[in-house]
Amino acid sequence: MWAAQVEAHAARHPVTVPLGGFDILVPPMWQWPLTGLLALLCEDDATWAQLCLPGGEHEAWLDADPTDEDCDQFLVDWENATGQNLDTIGRMWHVLDKWADQLESDLVTHCNGLDLRDLWAEHHGPTLLTWRRLGVLYDGLPGQSLTKTAQANELGDAKLAELAKKPRDGYAPMSTTDMILAELVDAVRWNNYILQRVNTDPKKANQVKAPEPYPRPGVGRTRGRVASEQAQRLLAYMRENQGATPAGMWRDVGELPKTS
């Protein structure tokens, strides 16, 4: 929230940033030429200052004769004053360089018709589409968006398979319907597991692994253990009765005698 509030003002007005005893008035980013932004992303601070600072401010920059450490602190102060982040800008520059058409379409489809051209428009256009906001919207695009799909297609099957093996970090957005479908997937997997286990040679039954729950918020991994005592007793009953299920409803399983 703070970055968005700071940015709402800084996107339209210059900000004052200290540098070596001078106060440098930095114009808003929509006034910078793209070559100046590219120079900043390439850590060519002197070229950025020459291209993006007006005459008097550039002279103050030269009088300050900043060291690399001074420039680093200057950029940190500029980020704090504007709500921007150079890492985000560099990341989005790469996305636009490769998937600009897809991202333009996704902003219209998934982001209430935002116009990518506002990024370069005066005052960042009526939607105030700054680099920071573009990064937030891009991160929120669904997996079926054109941009994310194009990126996945470029990775190829081998790379996607490799990434799929890595531990997940958090959860994807899930609606109530998604949660119900996840529970249905778990139920089908457990039915398949039970049938496979009771029809397996008892000596090899322990080699049949219990299914992991479908990843969703609030449901942890079972780490290969049967979920409940009731399920264990059901398996034992079916194993001793050639795969037959007990009479009555599933709730009656709790009344079965315990097996040794």
pLDDT one-digit tens code per residue, 36-50: 999 999 999 999 999
Give every CB contact of residue 179 below 8 A, 6+ residues apart in sequence: 216
pLDDT at 224: 45
Between 181 and 5, name the one with better pLDDT: 181
When pLDDT is averaged across residues 235-255 and rounded to a whole number, the result is 64
**CA–CA gap between residue 56 and residue 216 (Å, rounded):** 57
When pLDDT is averaged across residues 78-102 and rounded to a whole number, the result is 93
Lowest mean pLDDT among 27-41, 96-110, 135-149, 216-230: 216-230
pLDDT at 103: 96
Degrees to nearest 5, angle at CA 202 with 197 and 203 = 120
- 212: pLDDT confidence band, cut at 50, 70 and 90? confident
First to last CA, the chain: 60
Which residues are registered as beta bridge partners of 139?
A: none
Lowest mean pLDDT among 2-6, 15-19, 62-66, 209-213: 2-6
Residue 14 has pLDDT above 70, yes or no: yes
Lowest mean pLDDT among 69-83, 106-120, 143-157: 143-157
Residue 167 has pLDDT above 70, yes or no: no
pLDDT at 259: 46
Domain boundaries, the chain: 2-84, 89-162, 176-255
Q: Which of 56, 141, 54, 45 is closest to 102 using CA atoms? A: 141
